[in-house]
Structure 1
Amino acid sequence: MNVANAAPLVYRVERSARARSAAEREKILAAPGFGLHFTDHMVAIEWDKAQGWHDAQVRPYGPLALDPAASVLHYGQEIFEGIKAYRHADGSIWTFRPDANGARLQRSARRLAMPELPVAEFTESLRQLIAVDADWVPSAPETSLYFRPFMIGTEAFLGVRAAQKAGYYVIASPAGAYFAKGVAPVSIWLSTDYARAAKGGTGAAKCGGNYAASLLPQQEAQAQGCSQVLFLDPVEGKYLEELGGMNVFLVYKDGTIVTPELSGSILEGVTRSSILQLARDRGHRVEERKVSIDEWKQGVASGDIAEVFACGTAAVITPIGELKGRDFSVGDASAPAGEVTMAIRRELTDIQYGKIPDRHGWLVKLRD
C-alpha cells in the first residue's frame, strides 16, 4: 500500500492558543519523568486510497476525532515508532538515525496492510514539530524529547479488510531517565506461560498489539519484584527473544557480545543495530544467533557470561543484574553495572548528544 507523493508535503501550521508559559514549561522540564507530559503541538497527516498522503499540518496537541466504527478500534490497524531529539551544547537540536526509524515504520505498515509513509516525510514530520516546539527539548544530562510517531486506520466500516483511510500523527514528550533508579542493574522475570509474539505473527512489527500481549506478564514480573519481563521463542520455548520493549545482549568474559538473531518475531531495534556497529568498532567479536535460556543460566554460573544488558530507544542501555524464574535465580541485581555495558552506553549517548564525532553519519540536524 505504498502510495508515493508527486511532491513533498506542504504543512499548514496552526499555533496553539493554550501553549504553556515559559515558567510552566521549565517546571515540567526540571523533572519530566517519562511519557508524562506532552508538548503544545502535534503533527497530523491524512491518507486515503485515492489521494495518498495529504493535508499535512502542525496543530495544537489535543484529542483525535474518531468514528466509533474506525478500523483501529475493531481490527487493531495501528503502528508506532519511538525516536528522540537531543539538544547539543551549542543549543542545536538533532535526532538519531531517523532513516532507520522511518524504514522500520514502513516495514510495520507493510505487515499491518497500512500505507507506507516515505522516509523523507517521516524525518520532515519531526523537523516540522521541532520548528514550533523547540523550547520543549530539555538540556539537562540524560534528558531528551521523545517523539512518538504513530499511524492508525481511520476508515469507518465493519468488515475484515485493510482500511482505505489512515492518519499519521507525531506527539512529543520531554523525557528524563526511563527507570526511576537511573542507570543501575535491574532484575528481569522469565515468562514461561506467555509468548510475546507467534511464528508468522507481528513480532517484527512495532504495533500496539505486541505490547498489549506483554502487559499481563509484565504485571507478573512486577509482582516478583522485577522491572521487565523476558520472553522466549514461541515455537520451542527455550531461546531468548526479547524483553517487553527491549532487545537483550550477553557479554562473555572473552569480550564476545551475543544477541538473539532476528527470527521474524523479534523487533529489529535501531539501538540494537547501533550497538552491534559500535561493538565491532571497538574490536569485539559480535554474534547474532540463537541463545537458549540454559546458556544464560549456565554461563552466569560458570562465569563465562560476564555482563547482560537490554537496550531500546527509551532506556538506551540498561544493565541486567538478575534473571529470576519460577524455580531459579541467577545473577545479582546489587552488583555494579559491567564495564563493557557502560562503555558502549557512554559512547552511544556521547554520539547522540554531540560530545564525540559521529563517524557513521547517524545524526540529523532538526534545528540550529
Structure 2
Amino acid sequence: MFGVTAAQCDWFNLELKPLLAHNMAGKSIPSFQAADLVFQLLSSSTRETTADVSTFGTCFTDHMLTIEWSVTEGWQPPLIKPFENLSLHPACSSLHYGIQLFEGLKAYRGDDNRLRIFRPMLNMQRMANSAKRACLPAFDQSELLECIRRLVEIEQDWVPHSNQGSLYIRPTFISTEPTLGLKTPTRALLYVILSPGRPYFANGGKDVSLWADPKYTRAWIGGTGDCKMGGNYGGSMFAQYEAVHYGCEQVLWLYGEDHKITEAGTMNIFLHWINEDGEEELSTPPLDGLILPGVTRQSILDITRKWDEFKVTERYLTMAQFCSALKQQRVKELFGSGTACMICPVGLILYQGENLHIPNQEKSSLLTTRLTKELEDIQYGRTASDWTLLV
C-alpha cells in the first residue's frame, strides 16, 4: 500500500528534482529528503476513517507529517506519525509575532478510484515564496511534495467517494523560536495535516453576497498580500463580522481612493463582462503584491486563454467602472475562485448603501458552470491532464 510505483519514481526523479533542486542562484538548497521519511503508524485496528465532514476543516485524519529545523542542525528527517497536539514554548515567536504561513490544496478520488492532487507544484512554489518573505528556511519543493504524496497515500481511505468531496491538505510552517525578542527564527517546524470534507460554502451552490466598504483593507503595496500568511486572514475577521451585520456573507475588498476591486473574502475575483470597447472580456486583478496568486485563479486564466473565445486580462477595475457597466447591462457574471470553494458566483454587492444585483443568465450558459465542469473533469480524472499528480 505504501510503495512507490516505477512511474511515480520516474516522475519524481526526472521531472521535479531537476526543476526544483536549485535556488535562483543555482546553488543546491539544504533540505530534508523524502527518502529519509520515518514512519510511526497506528495499527489498523486503532485507525478511524469515518467521520462527520459536513463542516469544512473540523475533522482530521489519523496521521500527520512533521519536519523540524534548526540553524545548528539543519533539517531533521521527515516523520509521519499519529495526529496529535503540538507542544510549543509559551514565548514561541509564531504565536507572538505571526511568523508563520500555510498552504491549501486538495486530493480527489476519481471515477476510476485513483487519487489525484491538483496542481500541487503551484502550491509548493507559493509556499517557498511565503517562507522567504517570513524569513523561514528554504526547502526543496519536490521533496516536500513527495512527503505529502506519501502521507496522502497512507490516508487514502479518508478521501471521500463523492464528486462533491475531497481531502483538504494543509501544509503549515511556523517559527518555534522560544524568545520574546523579534529576530530571524533559528528554529522552525513544518507540518502537514489532512481534513476530509465537502465544499467550503454551505449555501447549496447559491450566489454569495458581498459587502464593499473601503474603510477596511486586506493588503497594501509592499505588504504580504501575495503570501499565504495567517495574519492576512485573522486581520480580516472584524470586517467579515461587519459584513454579516449588514446581511452579507463575505467582504469585497477594495483598495485606494478609486476603490479598486481586489479580492472577495478569501477568494480571487473575476468579472465576465463587455468592456468599455465593446469586447467580451474576462478580467481579474493583476499579481502586483496585493493579490494572492491563487491556483484556481491561474487555472481559470490558463483554461480560458486556451479557449481563445474572448479577451482574458489581468487588470484592475474600480467600483465606478463596475457600477457603470452594471447600469449599462454589460456585466455577465462576477465570481470568486479558490481552492476551498473552487468557483463561487456573486449575486449581490452592498456598496455605499445600495444593493447592486448581479444578473443571472440561464444556468446552461454560465461561464462559471462551464469552468466548474472543466476543472472537475480534470480533478476527478475524467479528463487526462498533467495538472494532476497521481498518488
TM-score (norm 2): 0.87
The answer to whether the 8 Å contact 1:20/1:40 transfers is no
- Give the SS at the match of 1:248: strand
Pick from 382, 386, 391 the counterpart of residue 355 of structure 1: 382
Q: 1:269 and 2:310 equivalent?
A: no
Change (3 A) 1:240 1:332: closer
Shift of 1:224: 1.8
Report what 1:322 is aligned to. 348
The answer to whether the 8 Å contact 1:260/1:291 transfers is yes
The answer to whether the 8 Å contact 2:332/2:359 transfers is no
CA distance in 1, matches of 2:362, 2:341: 18
Shift of 1:299: 1.2
The answer to whether the 8 Å contact 1:3/1:53 transfers is no
Pick from 202, 214, 218 the counterpart of residue 240 of structure 2: 218
Shift of 1:33: 2.8
Q: 1:16 and 2:42 equivalent?
A: yes
Paired residues in the alignment total 359
CA distance in 1, matches of 2:339, 2:266: 9
Shift of 1:262: 1.5
Q: 1:201 and 2:223 equivalent?
A: yes
The answer to whether the 8 Å contact 2:136/2:175 transfers is yes
Change (3 A) 1:198 1:332: closer
Mean Cα deviation higher: 189-198 or 208-217: 189-198
CA distance in 2, matches of 1:131, 1:42: 12
The answer to whether the 8 Å contact 2:331/2:359 transfers is no
CA distance in 2, matches of 1:150, 1:292: 34
Pick from 322, 332, 342 the counterpart of residue 296 of structure 1: 322
* Unmatched segments (≥5 aa) in structure 1: none
Q: Deviations over 1:298-344 (max 9, x none)?
A: 21221111100000000000001111124212115887656111111
Report what 2:19 is aligned to. none
The answer to whether the 8 Å contact 1:321/1:335 transfers is no
Instruction: Within 5 Å, give how 1:1-368 maps onto structure 2.
Output: 3-5=29-31, 8-16=34-42, 25-28=49-52, 31-233=53-255, 235-236=256-257, 238-253=259-274, 254-283=279-308, 284-332=310-358, 339-358=366-385, 361-366=386-391
Mean Cα deviation higher: 242-251 or 218-227: 218-227
* Unmatched segments (≥5 aa) in structure 2: 1-22
1:345 aligned partner, one-letter code: T
CA distance in 2, matches of 1:276, 1:96: 16
Shift of 1:175: 1.4
Q: Which runs of 4+ in 1 moved over 4 A?
A: 6-9, 17-22, 332-338
- Give the SS at the match of 1:26: coil
CA distance in 2, matches of 1:38, 1:115: 27
CA distance in 2, matches of 1:100, 1:107: 11
Alignment RMSD, CA only?
A: 2.1
Percent identity reads: 37
The answer to whether the 8 Å contact 2:65/2:191 transfers is yes
Mean Cα deviation higher: 197-206 or 330-339: 330-339
Q: Deviations over 1:192-217 (max 9, x none)?
A: 21100122111111000000111000
- Give the SS at the match of 2:257: coil
